[in-house]
Every structure is written in C-alpha cells, then in structure tokens.
Structure 1
Amino acid sequence: MGKRHETIGIKQTIRFDWMQKTVNLLMAGLDQKAVRQELHDYLSEKKGSGAEEERGKTSRSQAVNILMNIWVSPDQELLLFRDAALTFLREHPSLELAAHWAMISAAYPFWFNVARQTGRLLALQDQVTHKQISTRLKEQYGDRETVSRYARYVIRSFVAWGVLKDLQVKGCYGKNPVLKIEDARSAGLIFESALLATPEAKIPMGLLLNNPAFFPFQVPVVTGDSISRSYDRIELIRYGLDDELLKLYSA
C-alpha cells in the first residue's frame, strides 16, 4: 500500500492540542501554505514537546511536517478517509479523540503498532513499560535503536493525549478510563484506520472488535453487515460458517 507501513515517522512527541489546532485551521478553510505557517507560529510559542522528560529542543519544522502529513496533505490514498474523518469530527465533536487516533494511525502505522503492542500488554497486566513495548516492536521492525527511541515518543504521546498515565516508577505506565463508542458508524472510522494501517488492508471481524490497538476505546459489538452498510469503502467477505472479514474496496 505504500511506504507508510515501512517507515517509523513519529520522531517526537505529538501533543493532542497540536492535532486540534491543525484540524481547526483546516476547517477554517486555510490552504496548505497558510496552515503550515500558522502551525509554525503556534508551535513557536510552545516550550518543549509537552513531555516533561523529553530531551533537547523540539524541532518545530519536524512537528509541523508530521501534523501536515496527518491532516492537511496526507498520502493520496488517505484523502477520502481524511475527508470522512473531518465530517466525523463535525458530527461527533465529543469523539474527537477517536478521529485523531484514527487519522494518525492511518498516516503513521507505527503509531498503530505501538498501540497494538501496548494494548496487548495491558490486556494481560495492569501496567506496561517502555522496555516491554519496544521489545515486542523490535520483533516486527528489527532490533534497531531507532525503534526503541521512536516508540518512546509515541508512548509519551499516549500520555500527552491522556490515554496512558505515568506511574511512580519511571518508564512504567497505566491505563486511563476509556472513551465509549456507541454506534457502527463511529466504530467504522477506527476500523477503517486499522485497515489502512495494515499492509494487507484486510482483518477478520473478530480481530477488529477486539483489536488491542483500540485500547483507549470501548468498541461496541457490531456486525460486519452494519459496518459495510455504513461505510462504502469497506467490503464484507464471509468465509467458513460464521466468519467475517473486512477489507478495503481499493485493496
């Protein structure tokens, strides 16, 4: 599906208010050049990344590039999804966490994979560590120092977004209360993000309903039929007796 699945990309902590600011500028009708300049001005007033222990100066240009790649000028194959996410935000402002989570997961699948490993560990225990998460990620991305370092930026972003919390022991994190998603249309948005974050662009329905990458959310029990009816970009495939698979039509 493209280089998105091969690159790590998240090279610093991304704060939730930066995502909100980007969307607000986009919804206000500013063009790409104007949004980029406004983001530079906005971040120039911020000190650091919002993660207390982050070392060194935040690269403002790097942060702006990441934000632009997520919401303003994503890959061509993400444009329809971006537009759907903007519509979702207008209709469901109380679920903005889900919209931002979906968009960053699609644009940067590394985020999705860090979330998946985090959720897997939290399903087994009450707290997780950076070391545990990065060890699992290295099985997928290789034993590179950059994997551990960039995983830390994503984990710190999870804390900045309020889906994880720092515990007393440094490098240990606990889970915060989840956001409840109540209908198929809303669930479809994060399901589509998972499909976009997966190279094969197809996932069994059971794995979507219980996907550990959605650990910040309470996902409703919905059927493949309801998702495919709500989303014209998602196709339902039945196999076996009662098994269902969701895939992107373009895949």
Structure 2
Amino acid sequence: MGGLIRNRHEAIGIKQAIRFEWMQKAANLLLAGLDAKTIRQELHEFLSERKGNGSEGERSDQTRTFAVNNLMKIWVSPDPELIPFRDAQLAFLRENPSMALAVHWGMISAVYPFWFNVARQTGRLLALQDQVTQTQIINRLKEQYGDRQTVSRYARFVIRSFVAWGALKDSETKGCYEKAAQVEITEPDLAILMVESALLATPEAKGTLGLLLNNPAFFPFQLPVMSGDVVSRGRDRIEVVRYGLDDELLKLKGE
C-alpha cells in the first residue's frame, strides 16, 4: 500500500485540461450503475462530440484518450485505498447534487495530488495578492517537483481547469488570474470529506484541524469552523488526536 500511495503523490498524471461537466458525466454514469467498460465507451462518445480545450483536430483522439483515462481514474477505478472515500463522495453527491463542485474538487485532489498542490500554491499566492500569474504558480511548483518541463505543461492544464470550473477568473492580462467568488460550505459532512481529501492528497496523511480547514488548496471554498468531535463522529476513516490545549491532529486510520 505504501508504494501505491507514494507513487500517487509523486505522479503528475493530468495530461490535459479537465472540464467540470466531464467530471459530472463520469459521476452520473457511475451513479446510474453502469459498469466500467460501458462508462469508458460512453465517455469516449461524450467527449468525441466536444472540443475540450480547442486543441487542433489531429490531437483530439489522443487528448480524448487522456481525458477519459483521467476521468476513469478519478471516479470509476481509483486506487484501491481510495475506494471507501470515493463511495462516500458518491453517496453525498447523490443526495446533494448542488454541492457537486466541492465533491469533484475533493475527488480529483485525492486521486491526483498534483491538482491539490497546484491549488495550494494558487491559494497561497491569492492570500497575498489580488491577482496571480501562471508563471508565479509554476515557479512555486518547480520548487516542489523540480524543474521538469512536464511540471510547467501539466500545471497549465490544471490552471485552465480552475478557470473552466469557475474557481479562477481570467483577468485582462493574458496568463494572469483573479479569485472568483467563494462557495460557502455549510454541510459538516461535506467539510469532513474535503478534510479527508486533503489528508489523502498529503504524503504524511496527517495535519492539524485548523490548517486542514484553512488549507489554501481550498481557495474556491469557505469551509465552516468545526471541532475534532464533529469530525470523529462523522467519519470513521479519520482519527483525531488531541495535543496541547486546543490543537487537534487529524490522521487517516491505518497510516
């Protein structure tokens, strides 16, 4: 299991912009009870009718395959250790379709921690300034992942995805972005799922409750203030360890 987790955190994996409606389609096919093979076919058909990121025609087959592979990995066949989390996310989505943005954000963050890390660097920069540039985000990612060309290329896909999801807005200057209005999360169950996604996206799989709720990777959202008691009651996969007077450490059970 350790090997799987380490690979997931080191991989970049997102090879093209992922649109929100594609995530919705994948989740809806899964909710409809279809099997993996059928879902893959349906996604290919769905994406063949759509020009994802306006890429040139001859690349569309390859980019479509990348997109379908990403969607399958996120919702349909994630790593085995992510399946209980996926099932909980799916159950929440079934009951609360209006909260889809946060559900998909948490799911893609857990499966592809690279998304979570691009979001974290974006959120950190937006906490300091009103606008953020692609270059600033990529420079910070290079400190974490090394100066690989794939880092810049794939980070651009993730940033374009943030814009497509409405989490960031294009500014008048090309390659420069502004924060969009935050989505308020009032459902404790959803907030706990988001905290769990942050734990799954972090190699150490632990963090203090305050820092998890205020993680800059959740910059498009406003999470509620919660106690460790609420978290431990609501989720049997998270262990709450108290230390000091008011600090609570959360970690994934079995880590």
TM-score range, shorter chain: over 0.9
Instruction: After superposition, give the CA deviation of every residue in 1:102-122 in whole Å (9 maximum; x if it has no partner).
Output: 000000000000000000000
Mapped pair 1:94 → 2:106: no
The range that moved more, 129-138 or 182-191, is 182-191
For residues 134 and 91 of structure 1, what CA distance do their matches in structure 2 show?
37
The structural deviation recorded for 1:240 is 2.0
Give the CA RMSD over aligned residues.
Answer: 1.1
Mapped pair 1:46 → 2:50: yes
Greater share of helix residues, 1 or 2? Answer: 2
Q: Conserved in 1, the CA contact under 8 Å of 2:31 and 2:94?
A: no
Mapped pair 1:190 → 2:187: no
**Counterpart code for 1:17:** E
Distance 1:128 1:20, change over 3 A: same
Q: The residue matched to 1:2 in structure 2 has which SS?
A: helix
Distance 1:121 1:55, change over 3 A: farther
Mapped pair 1:124 → 2:146: no
Q: Structure 1: 5+ residue runs without aligned partners?
A: none
Match of residue 225, structure 1, among 212, 229, 237: 229
Instruction: After superposition, give the CA deviation of every residue in 1:48-106 in whole Å (9 maximum; x if it has no partner).
Output: x24x5x56734111110000000000000000000000011012111100110000000
Q: TM-score, normalised by structure 2?
A: 0.95
Residues 200-215 of structure 1 aligned to structure 2 (within 5 Å): 200-215=204-219
**Counterpart code for 1:212:** P
Where has structure 1 moved over 6 Å in runs of 4 or more? none
The structural deviation recorded for 1:186 is 1.4
Residues 16-31 of structure 1 aligned to structure 2 (within 5 Å): 16-31=20-35
Q: The residue matched to 1:247 in structure 2 has which SS?
A: strand
**Counterpart code for 1:43:** L
Q: Which residue matches 1:71?
A: 75
Match of residue 119, structure 2, among 109, 115, 119: 115
> Paired residues, what number?
248
**Counterpart code for 2:65:** S
The structural deviation recorded for 1:183 is 3.0
Q: Which residue matches 2:11?
A: 7
Match of residue 154, structure 1, among 158, 181, 190: 158
Q: Which residue matches 1:84?
A: 88
For residues 104 and 78 of structure 2, what CA distance do their matches in structure 1 show?
13
Instruction: After superposition, give the CA deviation of every residue in 1:165-204 in whole Å (9 maximum; x if it has no partner).
Output: 1111100001111111113211001000000000110011
**Counterpart code for 2:164:** A
**Counterpart code for 1:176:** A
